[in-house]
A and B are shown apart, each in its own frame.
Chain A
């Protein structure tokens, strides 16, 4: 590492900038995905109100976009290998590392779709926005593969461990998200679910009231869940 750093000069600066911003972009995108998963469950971070978690998700994603842009532009501007600008968005358009840079282009395209629809969210239906936003789950693994495959740096040493840690955390978070969803009470049953939890004083009302008083359905429902 030290030798590499000392080798930075005007001709290698762009190359190193591109790699460094790429690593930071991967970290930021990992954080954005984790926060996104948290937001879907209306989860909270210690010391932050819910809206701040959403805000953090949104702002970090915009910062990630800046780093991805720097990563792509410096890679294109660097003259050591020829990467045409079109290769940034068109998969397989780069003569250098054709397939692995293609993954980067795919991930970038998906990210652009997610970011643009989120910026235009007010003008889109929720369904359309959500459908496109789900592409983030495809964008991240593709970006991760792109990181591992196109950079020898990430295949060993500390950066390899970092990449593995990122993948592990995202997989665990997705599993947590799916497990939480499976415990969800359907909207129409939520109230009854809660009412049955508060059943004790409610049943007292029935004893107190006339036989023609409305009967509680909540206990039955609870037994079904």
Chain B
């Protein structure tokens, strides 16, 4: 496996990372640069063919759920055959997790790799329409850049299926796949209840394949180099590489492509025992640094502390910030981002946020922590989506990891000296139905 020093993935000739992002610098790749680096699109000329390669490669979804890509494609292909209805393929670039920057970075630097993957996925399931769904203003006008990239491909006739660009509303849940389908169908970007699964009956009733932008980029490379090449990095159970957003104490977020199974220590550096790492973003898990130093970046290893790789977000707040207070603010944001349609989430998350805030400001009552535990248990598994589950996981891990800090706050003190917020939290929350459209 690749070794890297101090976070920067080293270029290794055998395993050759990065695979997705351009090797040189931060310059976006246009069609010519993309062709020079990767070569032509390896169309297979028949549906289903690529699915075998994806299965052999063991590619899983990089949006956070790590669902095997080949199973999703197979489900869509089967549904399309059974119902004799051509499917729709959607590239999901709407990374609504505020702490994540990897899809925006990938779409900005290597849009053609994602668009290649979108074409190949469309061919693999026999789709006649493709959509690229993303936040268009997240970074440097990425919407305009993607529009240009699509135009470049149309000009050279690279695409077999026309691609439409669709804008995601700036909501935490807008990238959830049923919310995405609801939004593209003209409704609000709120999750809907399953069944029917969108692979059976999604956009306008067509079998719908939604894949994370990074997953599609990996597909474009597996189609070119084969499953064996893909497996040259990563672990046997969780092969390949993934994009991570790493927010270290010393500065701006960095997006790095790293092999699965990489030691966390080499990604986030050595941390003192009183520090903590947030793995997986705001639906993720706080882990004490002492534990994190022994873990590797794969679900098999992270399961030991109840964490998951998710969308590859690693955050190490600086020692002068109070992570407990920041977590309370993040949970407040998560509560405000509830779609407000499922009772446990609607009623539970605001109460959870308020209780955590009580703890953070040192005004907790005797039963506050017991209430929090109880509510976290009550909301879990009871929504149309996993928003309450992820929020409950985040809160519970904070209660455990920051037990000492909670005790300090109870006595009216705080270990944080800087009051500048470290965790990125969007300022706006939804006020009307329009904000979800």
Min C-beta distance of A56 to chain B, whole Å: 20
User: Which of A188, A198, A210 lies in contact with B433, CB distance below 8 A?
Assistant: A188
Tell whether A157 is near chain B: CB-to-CB under 8 Å: no
0/1 interface trace, chain A 188-225, chain B, CB 8 Å (1 if under): 11111011011001101100111011110110010000
Q: Check A152 for interface membership: any CB of B closer than 8 A.
A: no
Judge if B42 is at the interface, Cβ distance under 8 Å: no
Q: B340 and A190: CB pair below 8 A?
A: yes
Interface 0/1 of B320-352, CB less than 8 Å to A: 000001001100110111111100001101110
A3 at interface, CB cutoff 8 A: no
> What class of interface size applies to chain B in its complex with A?
35 or more
Give the distance to chain A from B205, nearest Cβ to Cβ, in Å. Answer: 9
Contacts of B340 in A (CB 8 A): 187-191
Report whether A215 and B427 are in contact in the complex, using a CB–CB cutoff of 8 Å: yes
B432–A194 CB distance below 8 A: no
Contact partners of A209 in chain B: CB under 8 A: 325, 329, 419, 421
Residue from B190, B336, B339, B436 within 8 A of A195 (CB atoms): B336
Query: Does residue A186 face the partner (Cβ distance < 8 Å to B)?
Result: yes
User: Contacts of B333 on A, CB cut-off 8 Å?
Assistant: 214
**Does A187 contact B357, Cβ atoms closer than 8 Å?**
no
Determine whether the beta carbon of A202 is less than 8 Å from that of B433.
no
A217 with B431: CB separation less than 8 A:
yes
Name the distance in Å between A85's Cβ and chain B's nearest Cβ: 39
Q: Contacts A188-B436, A210-B420, A213-B329 known; A201 to B361 CB distance under 8 Å?
A: yes
By a CB distance below 8 angstroms, the chain A residues around B325 are 205, 208-209
Of residues 215 through 272 on chain B, the ones whose CB sits less than 8 Å from some CB of chain A are none
CB <8 Å contact, B336 and A192: yes
Shortest CB distance B304–A (Å)? 33
- Measured in the bound complex, the distance between the Cα atoms of B355 and A151 in whole Å is 63
Q: B residues near A, CB below 8 A?
A: 188, 190, 325, 328-329, 332-333, 335-341, 346-347, 349-351, 353-355, 357-358, 360-361, 363, 419-421, 425-436
**Given contact pairs A188-B433, A202-B354, A210-B419, a sample of 10 additional A-B residue pairs in the complex whose CB atoms are under 8 Å apart:** A189-B340, A191-B338, A194-B347, A202-B357, A204-B357, A209-B419, A210-B420, A214-B426, A214-B427, A215-B427
Instruction: Please list the 6 inter-chain residue pairs (A to B) with the smallest Cβ-Cβ separation, ordered nearest first.
Output: A190-B340, A198-B354, A210-B419, A188-B433, A204-B361, A194-B350
A-B contact pairs, 27 of them (CB 8 A): A187-B190, A187-B341, A188-B340, A188-B434, A188-B435, A189-B431, A191-B335, A191-B337, A191-B340, A192-B336, A192-B431, A194-B346, A201-B355, A201-B357, A202-B353, A202-B357, A204-B358, A204-B361, A205-B329, A205-B361, A208-B325, A209-B419, A210-B419, A213-B421, A213-B425, A217-B336, A221-B431
